[in-house]
Amino acid sequence: MAATPQNTESSTVAGGAKRSRTTASRVLPPIELPASVEELAHKAAARLGWSGVVLPATTLLGRKVCIVAKLRTDVHAERIAMGVGPVSDRATVDTWTWPELAATAPAPAAEILGVLAVARHWRTAMASAVPFARYGEAAMVLPSPAVLTEDYVANCLPRSRAYGLAIVTADPHAMIDLDLEGHNERVLLDEDPVSRWVNEMAYDQLLRVGEEPAAVD
């Protein structure tokens, strides 16, 4: 009995497609951060001149950021006397901006100097930083290879200038440099329920990391 010939064309095509898929799947390794988020945030804050406490990375408004803040010791002492510590419930904080309750609401106990978004790609960092740039200083911290692209120059820089974002880069040895200064020409929003709640979260973090003055009992 004659052997059935194999479909060499199909085999070749299939093999070729497999080889093509294998070749196409070879992509450049992702750009990694040269150090931990916390280390880069501390170095970036120093480079930006934000002389506050760099708080641990946390998720606020669905974005992972590091807040740089100071404790307002006089307000903190007053709030202790009133028995009003940090309030994390957003519904409660929302009522503090109501006209009928604004006069009796506790004062913000944290001074937020800026917000840092540390990420491997500028789009991720920008998405995290922009909501906070509406209220004050904000910056992105990126690995230096991420800024050496046409996409960064053509798309990131114009948007960053429009939003007033600063850009700090970290080289493979975690050495920090300022690639773009932030600016204060943009119009900032007044205090609202979102900014009050973010301030309460910063207040809570400041106390958790031990920023409560020893003299305040």
Quickly state the pLDDT bin for 183 (edges 50, 70, 90): confident
Residues above pLDDT 90, as percent of the chain: 76
| pLDDT for the residue 186 | 72
Residue-wise pLDDT tens digits, 9-19: 444 444 444 44
| pLDDT for the residue 126 | 98
* 7: pLDDT strictly greater than 60: no
Give mean pLDDT, residues 136-145: 96
Residues above pLDDT 70, as percent of the chain: 82
Mean pLDDT of the chain: 87
Q: What is the pairing mode between strands 138-143 and 166-170?
A: parallel
Give mean pLDDT, residues 109-135: 97
Q: What is the pairing mode between strands 176-180 and 166-170?
A: antiparallel
| pLDDT for the residue 188 | 84
Q: What is the token pair recorded at 50?
A: 């934000």
Residue-wise pLDDT tens digits, 10-65: 444 444 444 444 444 455 567 899 999 999 999 999 999 999 999 999 999 999 99
Q: Is the dihedral of CA 89, 92, 98, 103 positive or negative?
A: negative
| pLDDT for the residue 27 | 57
Separation of alpha carbons 87 and 100, rounded Å:
19
| pLDDT for the residue 14 | 44
Count of CB atoms situated within 10 Å of the CB of 141: 26
Give 102's DSSP letter.
G
Count of CB atoms situated within 10 Å of the CB of 144: 17
